[in-house]
Structure 1
Amino acid sequence: MPPTLVEEDDSPIGVMCTDVFGAGWGSFRIAHLSTGDRVGVELFQFPNSEDPENNFEYWKTGVFHFCVQDPDVEGLAARIVEAGGKQRMPVRYYYPGEKPYRMVYCEDPFGNIIELYSHSYELTYSAGDYS
């Protein structure tokens, strides 16, 4: 999938991102990458991001979430909540009415953000856009 501009609007991806980031996030660019062993990597570029003064601020985190795949997204989210975590948004569909690809952001009891996908990274983004 080529780099994409995602904007805060009523589109499915816009609503999904508002679920994740809250209102007022505006827009960002995202690039989806996949390694030879099927590991997906997302690079986010927000317009309000700041370059660190010394190029490396070790006391700040740079990764804000990680993602795991499980065909039972709803069940895994429920287990995270039962263990003291949070489900941060409703389960959302990529390609609603067309494909069963689902996702949800959760938070473990320690505050780490976990994204859950029902299908592989390649399948989720193979269409080339968010429609």
Structure 2
Amino acid sequence: MQSHIQLAALLLIGLAIALRPPSASAQKIIAHRGASFDFPENTLVAFRHAWEQGADGIEGDFYLTADGQIVCIHDPDTERTGGQQLMVEQSTLEQLRGLEYGSWKDRRFAGESIPTLED
């Protein structure tokens, strides 16, 4: 009987440890597509502002272009954020950089370029 009580006590202790919430220091804030609520997603301005707002990390979406460059964009084409429909994987970096990726969010971001991983 005493071994059952000890086993039950150990199980309760283990359960209490497993179910406790993580400490605040263990929680991290990752900015999805940068500070994309306020800035055009997956742009350098969005990533910079995420750091300035205190994010612990940033997360972006990446595609490989036809000429082997890694660019940061969520969609497989540029229509939503670049205003013209170019398939990212079938386009060169020069073609993709010919579009701007900020004004869809707000005119004050006009001229934002598609960033590369190197940027």
Shorter-chain TM range is under 0.3
User: Relative contact order (alpha carbons < 8 A, sep ≥ 6): 1 or 2 greater?
Assistant: 1
Max Rg structure: 2
Higher strand share: 1
TM-score, length basis structure 1: 0.24
TM-score, length basis structure 2: 0.26
Higher helix share: 2
